[in-house]
Amino acid sequence: MDLVLVSFSFLAGLQAFFAPCSIALIPAYVGYYVKQETGDNNKIQQLLFGLKAGSLASLGLISVYIVFGIILALFGRLIAPIFPWIELVTGGLLLFMGSSTLLGYEFAVRPPLVIQTRTNGGRRFYLFGVAYAFGAIGCTLPIFLLVIFQSLAQKGMFGGVINFAVYALAMSSLMILFSLISSLSKSAMHKFLTRYMGTLQKSAGVLIILAGIYLIYLALQVISI
């Protein structure tokens, strides 16, 4: 197991959760999905509800990435020859998106597109996870590709599975953590998001810029040969 790759995969998963394209959905999740379903329950029931909601949302999130992983496994050989050019172009796009985020422009899936659903019970948490994953992919697909391709190139299929699992674990852990906190105190989560949402988005913008620089660096190493 390559600890450097595993660490990069974990950090990439954390960055994907806070991607500007998806983090704006968290207030909608707290305000609409969690709603008042935990208001009259005791703390244990609230925590169990938060764990259920977070786990289902994580399952929806991971489902999307599994589909993308299967597609990559099927078409990875076709993409591999031109991947350095894909890295170069997407690195430039990430620099643009990260810089725009720092300047206050918001790349995000609009909450109304997600929360206007008639589904009840656990399905809406699963669908939220699906929507969140698509939002995150909108900003971080090149980083996800980098995690998978670097792992496959250096460690084969087993390495790819391990690093994908670590990537998904990082995102899922944060989803469950946010769900648990929201189930206990929706108002506390709202205050946190109101106070720190701008900081979270700008931090994500910095991470996306760094990822863009790294992608361009990797691409130029191969293209210049």
Local mean pLDDT, 10-residue blocks, the chain (225 residues): 74 79 73 56 78 89 83 69 78 82 67 51 82 80 72 64 83 88 73 72 77 80 71
Say what the pTM is. 0.74
Please, are residues 146 and 32 in contact by the beta-carbon 8 Å criterion?
Answer: no
Q: Which residue, 200, 224, 10, 219, is CA-closest to 94?
A: 219
112: how many CB neighbours lie within 10 A of its CB?
A: 9
Say what the pLDDT of residue 59 is: 92
pLDDT of residue 119: 54
pLDDT of residue 68: 78
122-184 vs 43-79: helix crossing angle, rounded to 10: 120
